[in-house]
Amino acid sequence: MKTAILTLTCGRPEMTVETWRHNFANHGAGEVRVFWFDNGSTPDELAVMMEEAAKWRFAFTQFETQNKGIAYALNWMMKAAFATGAHAVATMANDIKEPDGWLDFRIRAAKDIYHTGVVAVAVDQSTRYPPKHVNGWMIEEGTVIGNWLITRDVYDAIGGFCMDYGTYGPVDIDYCERMKAAGWRYYYLHDLYADHIGQKEANPAQYQAEKNASLNKSWEVYKRNLKLYRQGKNVYQHD
């Protein structure tokens, strides 16, 4: 399964470099193409990241002068990756360190489990569902967050991420609801955990407050969209 990594950044260059070095070294999936979208980092921040990026020879890059939002960035990269022959894409935030073999595990599960749309690894042990055995894998099916493997098949079926939420919003939960409406599977791999180092940075209270404020603002939009999805409407969305 030809897979591309989609890495999204916005500031925090030292954390980005730490995450890249860890995740690119331990993904276990052989040669992959990397797409990088920066959502408005300063020139100084970009300089630090570009020095590191040169070591990994990214396939495509896109730099924006202002934050255009998570959905916009991921849709841009997915469209580019699938247009150049990828069968799946793996999203990679700049503050989540993955377990060893993280990409290889996701790819193999997607191949083995029929109608897989998204494969994820939980960022902690708090968001868990009852495990079940499916075709040789232990998985936990339910709404998933964090870094994802997204198959080309589900992208063709329901499109990209919803653009209604601004710079930050429940784009992952929204996508899960659309997959559910279209009959696709999405799940965590059992007993694998990623480390969300962004929540441990110097000012986590401010980070969480800004994140919560944006989520609260977009939640009413999500509730409106959810009603449509459950009626089978607007499930496929163009990017």
Output phi, psi for 3, to 5 deg: -125, 140
How large a percentage of the chain has pLDDT more than 70? Answer: 94
- Across the beta sheet with 116-122, what order do the strands follow? 60-64, 33-39, 3-9, 88-93, 148-151, 116-122, 185-193, 137-141, 132-134
Tell me how far apart the alpha carbons of residues 22 and 96 are, in angstroms, rounded to a whole number: 10
Q: What's the pLDDT at 126? A: 64
Q: Note the maximum CA span of the chain.
A: 49
* Secondary structure of residue 171 in the 3-state scheme: helix
Q: pTM of the predicted model, to two decimals? A: 0.93
- 124 pLDDT tier (thresholds 50, 70, 90): confident
Mean pLDDT lowest among 80-84, 186-190, 200-204, 222-226: 200-204
CA distances from 112 to 1, 137, 142, 190 (A): 12, 8, 18, 15
Q: What's the pLDDT at 128? A: 78
Neighbouring C-beta atoms of residue 134, cutoff 10 Å: 16
Task: Label the pairing between strands 148-151 and 195-196.
Answer: unpaired
- What domains lie within the chain, and their CATH numbers? 3-229 (3.90.550.10)
- For the stretch 10-69, pLDDT in tens is 999 999 999 999 999 999 999 899 999 999 999 999 999 999 999 988 999 999 999 999
Q: In sequence order, what are the beta bridge partners of 139?
A: 132, 189
- For the stretch 165-217, pLDDT in tens is 988 889 999 999 999 999 999 999 998 999 998 876 655 566 566 667 777 78
